[in-house]
A = this chain, B = another copy of it.
Amino acid sequence: MNKIVLHPIGIIHSPYKEKKDIPIQGKFKSEVEAYIELKDKYIKGLKDLDKFSHAIILYYFHKSQREDIEGRPFLEQKKHGIFAIRSPHRPNHIGVSIVKIKSIKENKLYFTTVDVFDGTPVLDIKPYIKYFDEQKDVVCGWLDKHFKNGNIPEKTIIK
């Protein structure tokens, strides 16, 4: 299998139009709201998702024009392997965010903890399931020093 073809199932409407506005992760600007507008044919797929508090959304980093193997994350100057950072400039431009579900109305899923551009194509929505997805004894490599004592680092906006 050399090629995998996917199709957007919808689009994200977000207040973030420019790179400088986006937080490095949505958790750091948790009041901001956005929504996914699904194609009509997928409306039934949302059934019962409104009973979950969080969803995992998969989307396409449509603004990235390159594939790096190493890169510098926003929090530091040191280079790391692309699979040890969350940069969009990766092989296969797929992004993953865990978002907080606010409400679902017809083909629209409203959520907070947003960290994506307006107009981002959506590939999938999954329920966040704590019984599967929560982890114990998590160690976060180069990031731990930036979040010492539970502090949020000053540099949480991309540019």
Given contacts A7-B92, A45-B82, A49-B84, are A140 and B123 in contact (CB under 8 A)?
no
**Inside 8 A of A6's CB, which chain B residues have their CB?**
3-6, 92, 94
Q: How many copies does the complex hold?
A: 2
The reply to whether A9 and B147 form a contact with Cβ atoms under 8 Å apart is no
Chain A interface residue count, CB cutoff 8 Å, equals 68
Residue among A8, A60, A127 with the most chain B CB within 10 A?
A127
The reply to whether A49 and B83 form a contact with Cβ atoms under 8 Å apart is yes
**Inside 8 A of A83's CB, which chain B residues have their CB?**
42, 45-46, 49, 55, 124-127
Closest chain-B Cβ to A141's Cβ sits at a distance in Å of 3
Bits for A66-92, please: 1 = Cβ < 8 Å to B, else 0.
000110000000011111111000111
Closest chain-B Cβ to A28's Cβ sits at a distance in Å of 9
**Inside 8 A of A2's CB, which chain B residues have their CB?**
7-8
**Inside 8 A of A9's CB, which chain B residues have their CB?**
91-92
A51 within 8 A of B: yes
**Inside 8 A of A123's CB, which chain B residues have their CB?**
4, 92, 94
The reply to whether B140 and A130 form a contact with Cβ atoms under 8 Å apart is yes
A133 within 8 A of B: yes
